[in-house]
Structure 1
């Protein structure tokens, strides 16, 4: 850090000391100027006049007032202006007490708004110049009187320019800080949304395949001794379900890789084109499932396709786990106008309907998926027994309008 920079920081940390030094400098300039006669025989002459006691007192009071210019700028301006007027009226030879008023006017302009600067500046210029021209010992057209008008005007303009630049820099800094906060909030929001989406995917994958593994493992254990062929078939289904679970978990967790991580092949996100494969896994687990499709080969956006697949997967998983061993499920995928309607029905006996009535994470995940795509999801018990899941997904996805950050 340079010496100049250290000195600047110390002055900013002690503004009163800076004002005191400024006041001392202004006092020295006023006292020196009071000994100069600009109208001597040989031009500007030094020490041809000496200030009287009243002029010295006015100069000291005006300089002392500048020490408090930051705390009470308007009062300091009023005091230094009054001292200047008194000096204009009584001082002969005259001392430049108006220099203190010029510094005070600059301070007012630099610390207030533009309208206040205009009002106070014009009033100060008028009073000082009028007092110098009308009540001073010099003719009204003397250059000293015009100098009072010019210096006071430049002080007001200079203070206003400094204030405008400071406000402009502050506005730029605030916009930059606001933009940084907005970027951080947006990044946190995106991270939260991505975590939620990945959590839903993981839940769907794990819940579905682990439920199948559990059922098939139970079948294998039950028939292992009496029907080993059927046990082997059940274990083969366990193996297939676990392999599918691992593949989908690898594809989902692969999204968490960093950009510099080595690339690894991942499977594309599943969609309704794999509905037969999905239903086949449940049929192999012993669940009777019927499928009816009337979507007429509709090509769906990737998000809608994945959401439809996950809704059916979660609904059938719930049927497998909670609807009873003799349950039957019906799946329908129908194109109705601009929407795809997916319905999953079962006639289960409800041996364990806790997740349906208690609001398990599976139903919550389905609802969040559908709502995120501007669709609707209806779930509830059927009249006469069983459960119904009905999802309406738009064929063309829409996103919510972005809101301007506050």
Structure 2
């Protein structure tokens, strides 16, 4: 009920002002009909009626000129109080109704300091008028002092209501900010997840497809001259394709999961599986040598996985772009850094080598707090150097396909 009345008042401000002016004017005029004891009811004096109408009509400007409205209603109320001494009616709170409404409007629309000053000035004017024009020369009575208290009340109520309004506005603003921030964070997370999915699919698909292409080309070349060796290469090709399909199914299967992630059936790739990885490149015609410096250290799962994927992608790029049959992988275990260097001696490097593969390797290195450089060697060939912290914390949300490799 109260909420409906507030909504009606907010939508019809002019009707509210008219109702307020008529009601307060009627109360002020009614007060002028009540004389001093024995309170004989009489017709309202015409001068008092005119002043009451003018004072109440000033409220029509309280929304646009609240300060001028307070000045006008204060003057009108003081005049009504002064006329009461000669016309015989009592200077009560109903006479000061327009002033109280004007002070409430002023306190609602301005700051606390302005409202306090105007309220104090109005109360002082009314108290002075009551003292100067007291009926029959009597001193200030308790009713007149109580009138000053009534004048102070609207500002206090309006200040409390304004504080509540500001608090509600601040709460709504914080809620809107939280919603907007949450939506932006959700978009950021979606974008990051899309990048992780794209990077993982690239690593899985590009590696196996490159090996399969190299093996198929080798088998085609050997088929007419050395069918036995061609058959062996075809067997390796089948193994490569089966492994590719398994990893692809595992990656896509994780993306389709809606509940808890499934228990991995195989551990995530790590540096301990480098010999098997290098052997797969050997079947495709790329001879890779592996050397290590420093004592091997237990790496966090994120760094171990990142190191494996960087070696895998770097050798895949060698197979696709370097035009060579040999490459080297060097692991240098330092106190705080694991340095991975992948070199080849290819004489040509197509521009596509700087595509998504290098971007994905850099993103993986940065995700665990490391860095990666890819550049041409001064003499001949190309090299990829990755520096990964050996004590890096676990990365957030590992890429989807790294939970398992096959079903």
The reply to whether TM is greater than 0.5 is yes
Deviation at residue 196 of structure 1 after TM alignment: 0.8
Structure 1 partner of 2:213: 214
Tell me what 1:233 maps to: 232
* Displacement after TM superposition at 1:371 (Å): 2.0
The Cα of 1:30 is off from its aligned counterpart by 1.9
CA distance in 2, matches of 1:259, 1:267: 21
**1:109 matched residue in structure 2:** 107
DSSP-derived class of the 2:378 partner: coil
Distance 1:180 1:124 in 2: 46
Gap change, CA 1:312 and 1:160, over 3 Å in 2: same
In structure 2, C-alpha distance between the alignment counterparts of 1:242 and 1:26, rounded to whole Å:
91
Match of 2:16 in 1: 18
Segment of structure 1 superposing worse, 270-279 or 311-320: 270-279
**Secondary structure at the counterpart of residue 36 of structure 1:** coil
Give the match's secondary structure for 1:286: coil
Q: In the TM superposition, what is the alpha-carbon distance from 1:117 to its structure 2 partner? A: 2.2
The 2-side partners of 1:386 and 1:124 are apart by 91
Partner in structure 1 of residue 386 of structure 2: 391
The yes-or-no answer on 1:361 pairing with 2:356 is yes
Given that residues 248 and 267 in structure 1 are in contact (C-alpha distance below 8 angstroms), is that contact kept between their aligned partners in structure 2? no
Contact 2:346 2:380 in 1 (8 A): yes
What does residue 245 of structure 2 align with? Answer: 246
Higher RCO (CA-CA < 8 Å; seq separation 6+) = 2
Structure 2: distance between partners of 1:55 and 1:72 = 25
CA root-mean-square deviation: 2.4
Cα distance in 1 for residues equivalent to 2:294 and 2:13 = 77
1:40 aligned counterpart, secondary structure = coil
Q: 1:235 to 1:262 in 2, by over 3 A?
A: same
| Contact 2:24-2:56 within 8 A present in 1 as well | yes
For residues 332 and 98 of structure 2, the distance between their equivalents in structure 1, rounded to whole angstroms, comes to: 87
The structural deviation recorded for 1:5 is 4.9
- Output one character per residue of 1:195-251: Cα deviation in whole Å (capped at 9) or x when no partner: 111111111111111101111111122222332322222222222222222222233
How many residue pairs get aligned? The number is: 389
Which ranges in structure 2 are unaligned for 5 or more consecutive residues? 396-407
* SS, match of residue 135 in structure 2: coil
Q: Distance in 2 between matches of 1:340 and 1:248?
A: 27
In structure 1, the residue corresponding to 2:146 is in which secondary structure?
helix
Partner of 1:148: 147
Residues 205 and 248 of structure 1 are in contact (CA less than 8 Å); yes or no, is this contact kept in structure 2? yes
Mapping of 1:38-49 within 5 angstroms?
39-41=36-38, 45=39, 47=41, 49=42
Name structure 1 gaps, 5 residues minimum.
401-406
Q: 1:89 aligns with which of 82, 100, 104?
A: 82
SS in 2 for 1:380: strand
> Paired residue for 1:305?
304
CA deviations 1:355-396 (Å, max 9, x no partner) are 34xx31111111122123221211100011100110111122
Q: Compared with structure 1, are the counterparts of its residues 55 and 354 closer, same or farther at alpha carbon in structure 2 (3 Å cutoff)?
A: same
Aligned 1:94-243 pairs, distance under 5 A: 94=89, 96-137=94-135, 139-243=138-242
Corresponding position: 1:372 with 2:367: yes
> Residues 78-111 of structure 1, C-alpha deviation per residue, up to 9 Å, x if partnerless?
2111211222233433464421011110111122
Q: Secondary structure at the match of 2:379?
A: coil
Pair 328,140 (structure 1): closer, same or farther in 2 beyond 3 Å: farther
Separation in 2, partners of 1:100, 1:295:
91
Pick from 61, 72, 76 the counterpart of residue 69 of structure 2.
Answer: 76
Is the alpha carbon distance of 1:128 and 1:255 closer, same or farther for their aligned partners in structure 2, counting shifts above 3 Å? farther
Task: Report the CA distance between 1:265 and its aligned residue.
Answer: 5.4
Classify 1:338/1:263 alpha carbon distance in 2 versus 1 (closer, same or farther; 3 Å).
closer
TM-score by length of 2: 0.88
